[in-house]
Structure 1
Amino acid sequence: MGAILGGVALILLGQWIGNPEALANPNDPFAAFRALANILYVSGVAVMLTGVGWTLQTWARA
């Protein structure tokens, strides 16, 4: 699940770099920061889920 969300975050980042107006309103000076914050949020959740999955898998072997 974490890897899937990580992939989604990378897709969003690529979308934002390729076409900034798709994720951010050019008339709002803070829209780019909100778009970047959302991408970082998805990335953070992906990292946490990957860590939890890795931990559970490691504990299952013990």
Structure 2
Amino acid sequence: MRRSRAERPTLAQKKQIEAAGLNSRDWLVLIESVNQLYLVHKGTGESRTIKKKGEQE
């Protein structure tokens, strides 16, 4: 079951967000899939999808 609302990122998720060149303080995690994070910006509501790095493929 997927989350219905955005939540604060965990430490591991923060590292993934920072690796994508984003400020982890500004983003909330909407959905975490096996190889992607679906993010929502706190201020603007903009959504973005980033690929996880360092995961086994």
Higher relative contact order by CA 8 Å / sep ≥ 6: 1 or 2? Answer: 1
Structure having the higher Rg:
1
Name whichever structure is richer in strand by fraction: 2
Q: TM-score, normalised by structure 1?
A: 0.26
Q: TM-score, normalised by structure 2?
A: 0.27
